[in-house]
Amino acid sequence: MIPTDAACEFFDAGPNLGIFGLRSVGDALKPVTMNDTSPQSSSKDRPDPRLFECPEPDEVRTDRRSAPAGGRPRAQVPERMQIAFQPYSLDELVPPDHEVRAVWDYVERLNLVRLYSEIRAVEGVPGRSPIDPKILMALWLFATLRGVGSARALDKLCQEHVAYRWICGGVSVNYHTLSDFRVAHPELLDDMLTESVATLVNEGLVSLERTSQDGMRVQASAGSGSFRRKGTLEKHLAEARDQVERLRRELEEDPGKMNARQRAARERAAREREERLQRALEEREKLAKRREARKKGDGDEARASITDPQACRMKMGHGGICPAYNVQFSTANSGLVITGVAVTNVGSDAGEMAPMARQHVERYGGSPKETLADGGFAVIDDIEAMERDYGTVVYTPVKEEEKKRAKGLDPFAPCPGDSDIISRWRMRMGTDAARAIYKERAATAELSNAHTRNRGLRQFLVRGLEKVRTVILWHAVVQNFMRTRTLRATLAIGTQ
């Protein structure tokens, strides 16, 4: 190679020189050095005629005034072009105590017979083999644990992150398959939640005697500007139906206008838009009835979203009003595992205790003996139904306690017309024992909310109550998985 200084000499301009400052081709073949003292290479007696600035050597560019006394600074620089043989397997890149290994061990112990029964590819018959359901299950469990809620983001991690690559083990996945699998098996996740709690109860690590319930509003995958009144929804629905019919006629008149993939995509998009608008009209009617029941004439102002028809506008914790869903968690005070989940599109928690007690009966064969909930759940009918139908004693604050005290009234005294159950509830909440029990609510119910928030549950990326509930089940299963590890580790330490 020609040295840098020699290359710069090629650009020295002079009389009768070529464009590169060379008198002949032979000059280009002559090695030129900095200590060449020949008259033609010396630049002391003539101005520097170089066409371009030539960078000086590193030794010259270094600011010797800032260099340490021991010499010029040196550092380790990256070398990315060096070919190196790295004899590592994918398994060796993941530490033995990495969390992803615990997730995979958990998945291997699951009963996934229903998932394998859906596979149509069998031995001895032609056809492409699908992705092992264990891989997809482990990917979403680990992604939920790490706060990844997007199928596209998970797809990218499966290519770049060693832990996700370790789960795949060389099997190629794509975001569409991941997205479909995430919401395709709510019944399986429901069973996993029930079995996780039942197992810990049998091991004596969890008790269902006392639970705490709380609601958490999570923003929906819809914008505030997507809500429309009845007239606008009907107009859009008519346009969508015309579009479906027009597309059908176009395909009949010119079948070769587009290929099968394009035709299927356009038909699916038109059909889904029509279905969303039809569902938006139905949800708008439900909302109108609820608003009309609260205030006469208010039902006409009801609106529904054309993006996510089942989402409703709710007042959020930050003070704003956004399209959202109301997520309900029931948590065991002993063990802190999630024992039940529910999702509604009503902003109030009123009336949600009895459905959760019924869910416990269906899951575990009985309801808790005691339930703790904040003042938003304090509805007379619900409190009475909990003790009458399920034998569950409710600990929830008495409403307007401070106002009654200011008027000189006893807020815990039974009111005229109260049933025996409600009278006992009022008097119970005035005792020191009830106040001590109620203090457990924040450390129990709020803990489940905090963990799911920290794992990315701040806005849903799916639409519709059914899919939203499935996402909540993933979070509940992951929460119980982590609590199981903690409880068993604590037990092991205590027995040593």
DSSP-derived secondary structure for 195-264: HHHHHHHHTTS-EEEEEEEEEEEEE-SS-GGGEE-HHHHHHHHHHHHHHHHHHHHHHHH-GGGS-HHHHH
Give the tens place of pLDDT for each residue, 182-226.
Answer: 999 999 999 999 999 999 999 999 999 999 999 999 999 998 888
The pLDDT, as a whole number, for residue 496 is 66
Residues 6+ apart with CB under 8 A from 351: 379, 381, 382
Give yes or no for residue 101 having a pLDDT over 50.
Answer: yes
Distances from the Cα of 379 to the Cα of 353, 360, 384, angstroms = 9, 20, 9
Q: At what angle do helices 465-494 and 440-454 cross, to 10 degrees?
A: 110
In angstroms, the CA 340 to CA 194 distance is 8
482-495 in b/e form (b: 16+ CB < 10 A) is: bbbeebeeeeeeee
Q: Are 372 and 438 in contact (CB under 8 A)?
A: yes
Give the tens place of pLDDT for each residue, 330-382.
Answer: 999 999 999 999 999 988 899 899 999 999 999 999 999 999 999 999 899 99
470: buried, middle or exposed (CB in 10 Å: 19+, 13-18, 0-12)? buried
In 3D, which of 421, 422, 368, 373 has the Cα closest to residue 397?
373
Give yes or no for residue 256 having a pLDDT over 90.
Answer: no
How does residue 181 score in pLDDT terms, banded at 50, 70 and 90?
very high
Global model pTM greater than 0.85:
no
Question: Between 248 and 381, whose confidence is greater?
Answer: 381
In 3D, which of 144, 198, 189, 143 has the Cα closest to residue 337?
198
